[in-house]
Structure 1
């Protein structure tokens, strides 16, 4: 039974027909008209119509950044699109004539990893997506956790530093300010400013005018001590947060995705070290696996499609 997955990002809309095993049958991408919600809706409808042509499609899943209600229907709030209490599911179903579910993009990516990627063979998993911000997804007892209002698992906004750095959510000290790609760049600049092991970072910044993810990533992979110092600091915060999450959720596996996770074991090593340092009752608490996500850029569309398939199965 094929389903369509749509992943609405800040710059592009990705869509795909996905089979029951999570394999992409056909895909499309178009730019996101983020400043015009009517044009965005039209673009999603056009993509669904195109993908559904000559295909037996059971349902459509849509993934978007923001707060989605527990019924997988309404977008309470989206940070990059002017959606406020938007009945997106109802609007799409009226236009495409198929069952539609809407979910948070991190939930969709986490579900894809749980079903078809790095989370296979466990029942309880936490995924942290380390990109510009920090996204989160929780699977507990083989089911995606959404919370009573649908806005649960916003793990990037778990407070790790009381009265810490200001966050875009309006609070201070959130994990997103210490464990994200943006945080890594701030840490790399601090290492560059300090001299010593930061000399290569400072040189790269002088040559290019600024440090970006590509430059820092290249230095990390080349074994530069300054770039690895920044990455270890980032890993420390993520490992500390994982230890707190273990005390609450007790997952069997932590999965790390997003651009920073491309560092692989270079990121996982300091995460594991900090986790062990901060885990309550260590030695008496079973310890989870720490792995890198496998589906990368396809996770959003694959997860959205499978969540739509699950919804149809449960409501048949």
Structure 2
């Protein structure tokens, strides 16, 4: 199989791209994300048709933000789009007359990084995406691990703190409440409220109030040496590293690949995550340490990954 299309479903736009066998995106087409589930399906088909004007394409892969069944055909649950047991594969195929594969978007990004990005050369990889929330994917022996029901890799909802912070999933103490972009902002706002004299640069980048602090302000202030901003990154890294140490006990990968918006800060966050991981890893002094690597494909990882998964059928 040659060229395939990968589809990325975002909150504001749906992007479809033609991807070759080397993981290169040849062309893309974007359409706005409609407000209704039915509208999203029509928009996916529109995005695919718009991307498929110049090439002979064999199949389409769709990265869906939610739980996808073991047959890679039905979206079992996704909170933001209100899909419940949505037969997405069949509904899109009826509109575009091409074979379709559905995959969880974090799994798709993990596969993209493994096959064409930071994971190249590793057979066992765990990818963790730290953005607004926290997600991930697992590759074992060169194969994407989906689990019996297709829902493996939902790391963000590992219960890290009993009776901890309420998560959007309805449970308490989930990992993404402590190691995500949202958590980073919360840490900075709390510290700026308690000790504003330590957050002068950070507050100046926003509207002067702790409530006005955003992720981009924290990154810029940390580069300027603002103590509250750097402390916020250290706290996020502490929790991120703790989670990686737990995942190492489960999967023993050769590499962790850290992606998502937070990882765009490079060593500002990756260095502290590595230290936290090694410090909290059981038997750390006596065992090999997985590499902790920055993702390489950026926002294109999911599109590239799901296009390649569609190529495999």
Contact 1:60 1:99 (8 Å CA) reproduced: yes
Q: Residues 238-253 of structure 1: matches in 2 within 5 Å?
A: 238-253=240-255
Q: Aligned residue for 2:153? A: 153
Q: Aligned residue for 1:118? A: 118
192-201 or 141-150: which moved more?
Answer: 192-201
Residue 199 of structure 2 aligns to a residue in which SS?
A: helix
**Which runs of 5 or more structure 1 residues have no equivalent in the other structure?**
312-316
CA distances 1:269-315 after superposition (whole Å, capped 9, x unpaired): 2111111121111222211111111111111211110110122xxxx
Distance 2:13 2:206 in 1: 29
Contact 2:77 2:84 (8 Å CA) reproduced: yes
Corresponding residue to 1:295 among 292, 297, 305 = 297
Distance 2:159 2:265 in 1: 25
The answer to whether 1:19 aligns with 2:31 is no
CA distances 1:82-121 after superposition (whole Å, capped 9, x unpaired): 2110000011122222110011111111111001011111
Distance 1:274 1:37 in 2: 41
Q: Residues 53-72 of structure 1: matches in 2 within 5 Å?
A: 53-72=53-72
Distance 1:31 1:6 in 2: 13
Distance 2:225 2:64 in 1: 36
Distance 1:186 1:229 in 2: 12
Q: Aligned residue for 1:31? A: 32
What RMSD in Å do the two structures reach over aligned CA positions? 1.4
Distance 2:113 2:127 in 1: 8
Distance 1:89 1:206 in 2: 46
Q: Aligned residue for 1:188? A: 188
Contact 1:126 1:253 (8 Å CA) reproduced: yes
What TM-score, normalized by structure 2, do the two folds share?
0.95
Distance 1:245 1:14 in 2: 32
1:132, CA displacement in angstroms? 0.7
Distance 1:189 1:50 in 2: 43
**Which runs of 5 or more structure 2 residues have no equivalent in the other structure?**
none
Distance 1:168 1:36 in 2: 21
Corresponding residue to 1:265 among 264, 267, 287 = 267
What TM-score, normalized by structure 1, do the two folds share?
0.95
Residue 114 of structure 1 aligns to a residue in which SS?
A: helix
1:203, CA displacement in angstroms? 4.0
Cα 1:7/1:67, change in 2 over 3 Å: same
Q: Residues 1-316 of structure 1: matches in 2 within 5 Å?
A: 1-33=2-34, 35-195=35-195, 196-207=197-208, 210-311=212-313
Distance 1:168 1:206 in 2: 27
Distance 1:71 1:5 in 2: 18
Contact 2:17 2:28 (8 Å CA) reproduced: yes
188-197 or 165-174: which moved more?
Answer: 188-197
